């Protein structure tokens, strides 16, 4: 108990390291920047503007202060988060006695799923497999709100080296009605993270499990694309193509996987029924747009991008659609429309290919808007900049980007009344690699 009390005092001292807020408002406690494995957001020890801290500098009550006799202690959400953070810290410090004591005080304030998560974490630390499995199994049968707790409990098994036990629990839960569909996601992730492609039939066996099976197939299909498993992907489509096409999630996952594997013609063939798909999103269509651009079907790709940006629900792919549309406008001489599309975003955070597309649009605009006497010089300068960036950041590059480069050079040469050069017809040559291939 001495070690537990010592950790409690240490936690309180950590919570009382104050610093002013950026807007000069109330004092905020210093955050502990530690991430949960299953979360993209940091958890703070206290909320940035904790109501437990008054303006005169009085500290909040100890989050582990025992409850009054006969009734549970009420805690604010920020205090509850801090107490759970302390519980995790005690477990990480191998103070299981202190963690058990903290959990006993917290239990009346926790919801059912968080209690089960904490029970699983504590049992794995105590090397007690039976209560840990029972808690994890109960979480597998919980509602969607229990997903965060389910992932946290599963992570504690992995940290304890009980990955095989997790899979056994998942298999048993999959056969029971009311199983959380995210169990399929976690089970498939377990397989693809270990590159156990020979176990793909275990994923196939989930086909008849409804939503759970859909979740598992989405994870598995995306992994095939990321790892460039073209043969396995083709086998999957030959065997379950009709079933995969029946749902927008698996349909879109196949489109992504085919594009990632460089199967652009098959992507265009797979996604040709995009108009009949329900709940389609702009990012779904971007894989089709890239594939059509790669195959040289620019007009069809432009029509799909125009449809995508006109959809009511937008996502991060809007800037990519707008870049290709802006390039089309610039190549057609519609500079006003091209500039209006580029004005929607500032260009920060773009990847190399998107940044080069933006440079192509700007280069066409600069040459066209230059005085007639300076257009040839501006054309040569813009061409050198594009060629340098292409070689340094893109390399040989995808086919759709090389085609865009050639079309851009020819458009600038036409506006400048100059000879476009060899690269306008064969693309940006990678001379060092070319010389190496012919033996120099």
pLDDT digit string, tens, across residues 199-228? 999 999 999 999 999 999 999 999 999 999
Per-residue model confidence (pLDDT) at position 433: 52
Report pLDDT for 388: 86
The predicted structure's pLDDT at residue 432: 53
Alpha carbon distance 196, 121 (integer Å)? 27
pLDDT of residue 131: 94
Q: What is the mean pLDDT of each run of 10 residues along the chain (440 residues)?
A: 45 35 30 30 30 35 41 62 89 91 89 94 94 95 93 94 93 92 94 93 93 96 96 96 95 96 96 93 95 95 96 92 96 93 83 89 94 93 88 76 91 91 69 48
Number of domains in the chain: 1
Residue in the structure block whose two tokens are 């971007």: 286
Q: What is the C-alpha separation between 217 and 167, in angstroms, rounded?
A: 17
Q: Is 30 inside a domain boundary? A: yes
pLDDT, position 348: 78
Confidence (pLDDT) at 82: 87
CA distances from 313 to 24, 318, 330, 351 (A): 37, 10, 27, 23
Beta bridge partners of 34: 43
Q: What is the pLDDT of residue 25?
A: 30
Residues 122, 95 contacting (CB under 8 angstroms): no
Asked if residue 120 belongs to a domain, the reply is no
Token pair of 429 as six digits: 């040559």
Would 26 be classed as within a structural domain?
Answer: yes
For residue 46, being part of any structural domain is answered with yes
Decide if 43 is inside a domain.
yes
> Residue 103: which domain range?
1-51+77-109
Domain presence at residue 219: no
Q: In angstroms, rounded to a whole number, what is the distance separating the alpha carbons of residues 429 and 423?
A: 7
The 8-class DSSP code of residue 261 comes to T
- Distance CA(15)–CA(11), nearest Å, equals 6
| Burial status of residue 194 (CB atoms within 10 A of its CB: 0-12, 13-18, 19 or more) | exposed
Looking at the domain assignment, is residue 277 inside a domain? no
Contact residues for 194 (Cβ-Cβ < 8 A; gap 6+): none
First CA to last CA distance, the chain: 75
Q: Which of 152, 70, 142, 82 is nearest to 119 (CA)?
A: 152
Assess if residue 270 is contained within a domain: no
Q: How far is C-alpha 378 from the chain's CA centre?
A: 40
């Amino acid at each position: 108990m001495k070690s537990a009390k010592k950790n409690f005092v240490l936690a309180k001292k950590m919570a009382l390291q104050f610093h002013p807020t950026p807007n000069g408002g109330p004092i905020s406690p210093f955050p502990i920047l530690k991430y949960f494995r299953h979360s993209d957001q940091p958890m703070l020890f206290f909320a940035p503007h904790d109501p437990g801290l008054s303006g005169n500098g009085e500290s909040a009550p100890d989050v582990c202060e025992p409850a009054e006799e006969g009734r549970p202690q009420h805690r604010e959400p920020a205090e509850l988060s801090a107490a759970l953070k302390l519980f995790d810290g005690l477990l990480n410090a191998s103070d299981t006695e202190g963690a058990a004591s903290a959990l006993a005080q917290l239990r009346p304030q926790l919801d059912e799923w968080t209690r089960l998560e904490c029970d699983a974490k504590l049992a794995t630390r105590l090397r007690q497999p039976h209560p840990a499995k029972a808690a994890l199994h109960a979480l597998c049968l919980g509602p969607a709100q229990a997903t965060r707790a389910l992932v946290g409990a599963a992570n504690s098994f992995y940290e304890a080296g009980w990955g095989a036990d997790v899979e056994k629990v998942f298999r048993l839960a999959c056969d029971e009605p009311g199983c959380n569909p995210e169990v399929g996601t976690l089970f498939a992730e377990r397989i693809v993270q270990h590159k156990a492609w020979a176990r793909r039939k275990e994923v196939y066996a989930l086909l008849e499990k409804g939503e759970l099976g859909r979740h598992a197939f989405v994870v598995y299909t995306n992994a095939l694309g990321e790892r460039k498993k073209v043969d396995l992907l083709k086998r999957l489509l030959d065997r379950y193509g009709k079933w995969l096409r029946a749902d927008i999630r698996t349909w879109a996952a196949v489109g992504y996987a085919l594009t990632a594997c460089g199967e652009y013609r098959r992507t265009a063939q797979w996604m040709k029924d995009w108009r009949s798909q329900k709940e389609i999103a702009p990012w779904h269509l971007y894989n089709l747009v890239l594939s059509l651009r790669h195959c040289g079907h620019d007009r069809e790709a432009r029509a799909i991008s125009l449809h995508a940006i006109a959809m009511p629900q937008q996502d991060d792919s809007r800037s990519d659609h707008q870049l290709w549309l802006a390039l089309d406008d610039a190549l057609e001489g519609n500079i006003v429309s091209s500039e209006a599309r580029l004005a929607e975003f500032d260009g920060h955070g773009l990847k190399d290919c998107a940044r080069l597309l933006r440079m192509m649009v700007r280069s066409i605009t600069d040459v066209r808007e230059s005085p007639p006497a300076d257009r040839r010089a501006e054309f040569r300068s813009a061409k050198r900049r594009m060629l340098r960036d292409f070689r340094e950041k893109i390399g040989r590059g995808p086919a759709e980007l090389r085609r865009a480069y050639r079309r851009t050079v020819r458009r600038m040469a036409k506006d400048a009344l100059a000879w476009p050069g060899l690269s306008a017809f064969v693309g940006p040559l990678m001379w060092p690699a070319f010389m190496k291939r012919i033996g120099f």
